[in-house]
Amino acid sequence: MSARTPYTIKGETGDWELVMGLEVHAQVSSNAKLFSGASTAFGSDPNCNVSLVDAAMPGMLPVINKFCVEQAIRTGLGLKAQINTWSRFDRKNYFYPDLPQGYQISQFAHPIIGEGEIEVDVEPAHGGEAYSFPCRIERLHLEQDAGKSIHDMDPSSTYVDLNRSGVALMEIVSKPDVRTPAEAAAYVKKLRAIVIALGTCDGDMDKGNLRADVNVSVCRPGQYEKFRETGDFSHLGTRCELKNMNSFRFIQQAIEYEARRQIEILEDGGVVDQETRLFDPVKVETRSMRSKEDAHDYRYFPDPDLLPLEFEQAWVDEIRESLPELPDEKRARFEADYGLSRYDAGVLSADAEKADFFEEVAKGRDPKLAANWVTQELFGYLNKQDMELSDSPVSAASLGGLIELISNDTISGKIAKDVFARMIEGEGEAADIVEKHGLKQVTDTGAIEKVVDEIIAANPEQVAQVKEKPKTMGWFVGQVMKASGGKANPKAVNDILKAKLGL
């Protein structure tokens, strides 16, 4: 992995830099809501999963869901963060039609999880190399979700669905350590991989179960370093919050647009207003939603209906013992056990489904060859077709069978690509395709030697040339492979040619 390089945006008056902090809302994987026993099932008819507590009926009191607390602790441990055995719920006051109480039960001054840190791997972009950077976690707190306002069912009315009202959310807040659009997407990917591995959130962004708010500001080069030295936010520009981002691609597009928008305002002598903005993926632009409130605007105060949340360290230790292998640990194992590069190991370990698929392909086979075929050929095909791994037309066992044929020299790597294409089309297993179409590699040195002799005899000028410039032997290799229909063993061809040409 290469070092992190500065990312600048060219403006009319000079260079600018980006500074971002993210707030990721992850829905807790739980069958019941945070303060009631109502179901969290997705896709139910409107207002079917609503208890009297969720609807804020008079006299109804919240009761904490212990399992949701456990899931928050588990996530905090996965973030290598401080677990606070004493925390408190607060009321965050604001009005919205889908917030029946007129306030949200959240945590403000005393969150359940304190500071942590994760290592974020960034894929190559804009001609650069892959690299990693540490991103500090400021806090994780539990809060209840609001309902959903529906504006497109009637031109003159807004409908409200309270099925999500009271669903448990973990809000994971980062420090302003993210500096590029690609880093922002990579950070959310890493968090998603962690919570999925832990089983604390299913990470389904299409359903809104994991979504990100991105706080974007721009500043001149060197100002961020002053902020890190002093902790003084005045060195950074005014931030705008991009709300409810549920796509890695949209996150990057929204940040790029928003950064340019702020730079143009500043270079024209204007002032960036602190506000919440929404991203329009059709127009690929952000638009104002509302002015951004500060903490005092929400009038936080301790929720009088809930006692402080207290638990023993022994319970935390018990949860720690049950943690599964996390992405960073899996990546390190893939590097050590399979000899993979950090980048390939990171790609394959970032997602539990991908990791399991790779390990089945690599079992008892050449792991580097398996990694290449999984990440390049299979993932390349799936990405082009916009398909998920679960929809792959080639199973892990079938791909492993193809790799075995390459490893034992039954077929060459070039022929393997043709076989793979036929497997995708549904022709069957690799071995059957090779047998049916007569694609076995020619390893009979006598047969290869005969072809070599014929080509050498027919091309005396090239023979003379290759003796002066040995690198031109590639021409002969190509001719032999062409004459054999691509079936000749490349190593045998090279060895025989070198011997025949005296190289």
Does residue 487 sit in the same domain as residue 407?
no
Contact 123, 186 (CB under 8 A): yes
Domain assignment present for 303: no
* Burial status of residue 310 (CB atoms within 10 A of its CB: 0-12, 13-18, 19 or more): exposed
Q: Tell me what pLDDT residue 490 has.
A: 73
Domain assignment present for 307: no
| Widest pairwise Cα distance in the chain | 99
Rounded Cα gap, residues 17 and 6, in angstroms: 8
Closest listed residue to residue 133, CA positions, set 122, 125, 123: 122
Q: Where are the alpha helices (DSSP H) in 5-149?
A: 66-78
Average pLDDT over residues 332-353: 92
Domain assignment present for 308: no
What residues contact 168, with CB distance under 8 A and at least 6 apart? 27, 28, 30, 33, 34, 40, 65, 68, 71, 142, 143, 144, 145
Tokens representing 151 are 């504006």
Rounded Cα gap, residues 41 and 31, in angstroms: 7
Tokens representing 293 are 């409130």
Does residue 357 sit in the same domain as residue 253?
no
Total domains in the chain come to 3
Does residue 172 sit in the same domain as residue 262?
yes
Residue at a domain's end among 408, 437, 466: 437
Does residue 239 sit in the same domain as residue 351?
no
Rounded Cα gap, residues 147 and 165, in angstroms: 4
Tokens representing 250 are 């949209």
Does residue 158 sit in the same domain as residue 259?
yes
Lowest-pLDDT choice from 124-138, 429-443, 476-490: 476-490
Q: Tell me what pLDDT residue 470 has.
A: 77
Closest listed residue to residue 403, CA positions, set 438, 353, 453, 368: 368
Of residues 26 and 447, more confidently modeled: 26
Closest listed residue to residue 403, CA positions, set 373, 438, 376: 373
Domain assignment present for 360: yes
Domain interval for residue 357? 324-437
φ, ψ of residue 501 in degrees (nearest 5):
-95, 0
Q: Tell me what pLDDT residue 462 has.
A: 79
Average pLDDT, whole number, for the chain?
A: 91
**Total Cβ atoms within 10 A of residue 13:** 11
What is the number of alpha carbons within 13 Å of residue 240 lying toward its C-beta? 28
Contact 275, 215 (CB under 8 A): no
Highest mean pLDDT among 123-132, 200-209, 486-495 belongs to: 200-209
CATH number of domain containing 487 = 1.10.10.410
Q: Is 214 left (phi over 0), alpha (psi -120 to 50) or beta?
A: beta
Average pLDDT over residues 164-193: 96
Residue 213: beta bridge partners? 23
Instruction: Answer whether residue 68 shows pLDDT above 90.
Output: yes
φ, ψ of residue 353 in degrees (nearest 5):
-65, -45
Does residue 229 sit in the same domain as residue 187?
yes
Rounded Cα gap, residues 277 and 281, in angstroms: 13
Does residue 226 sit in the same domain as residue 335?
no
**Reported pTM:** 0.84
Instruction: Answer whether residue 10 shows pLDDT above 70.
Output: yes
List, for residues 107-120, the tens digit of each pLDDT value: 999 999 999 999 99
Average pLDDT over residues 257-266: 97
* Burial status of residue 383 (CB atoms within 10 A of its CB: 0-12, 13-18, 19 or more): exposed
Closest listed residue to residue 443, CA positions, set 499, 500, 490: 490
Q: Tell me what pLDDT residue 475 has.
A: 83
Domain assignment present for 271: yes
Q: DSSP readout, 212-248?
A: EEEEEEEE-TTHHHHHHHH--GGGSPPPEEEEEE--H
Closest listed residue to residue 144, CA positions, set 296, 27, 31: 27
Rounded Cα gap, residues 39 and 166, in angstroms: 10
Residue at a domain's end among 421, 437, 453: 437
Of residues 209 and 477, more confidently modeled: 209
Rounded Cα gap, residues 35 and 96, in angstroms: 20
Q: Tell me what pLDDT residue 273 has.
A: 93
Does residue 15 sit in the same domain as residue 90?
yes
What residues contact 42, with CB distance under 8 A and at least 6 apart? 207, 209
Domain assignment present for 285: yes
Contact 253, 280 (CB under 8 A): no
Residue at a domain's end among 413, 437, 461: 437
What residues contact 364, with CB distance under 8 A and at least 6 apart? none
Contact 110, 141 (CB under 8 A): no
Any idea how long the chain is?
503
List, for residues 427-454, the tens digit of each pLDDT value: 999 999 988 888 776 665 676 777 777 8
- The CA R_g of the chain, rounded to the nearest whole Å, is 29
List, for residues 389-425, the tens digit of each pLDDT value: 999 999 999 999 999 999 988 888 888 999 999 999 9
- H or E element at residue 350: none
Contact 92, 108 (CB under 8 A): yes
**Total Cβ atoms within 10 A of residue 95:** 7
Domain assignment present for 311: no
Q: Tell me what pLDDT residue 457 has.
A: 83
Residue 60's identity, in one-letter code, is M
Domain assignment present for 227: yes
Q: Tell me what pLDDT residue 125 has.
A: 67
List, for residues 198-250, the tens digit of each pLDDT value: 999 999 999 999 999 999 999 999 999 999 999 898 889 999 999 999 999 99
Q: Is 268 left (phi over 0), alpha (psi -120 to 50) or beta?
A: alpha
Does residue 431 sit in the same domain as residue 455?
no
Does residue 15 sit in the same domain as residue 124?
yes
Does residue 276 sit in the same domain as residue 419?
no
Does residue 193 sit in the same domain as residue 211?
yes
Q: Tell me what pLDDT residue 464 has.
A: 78
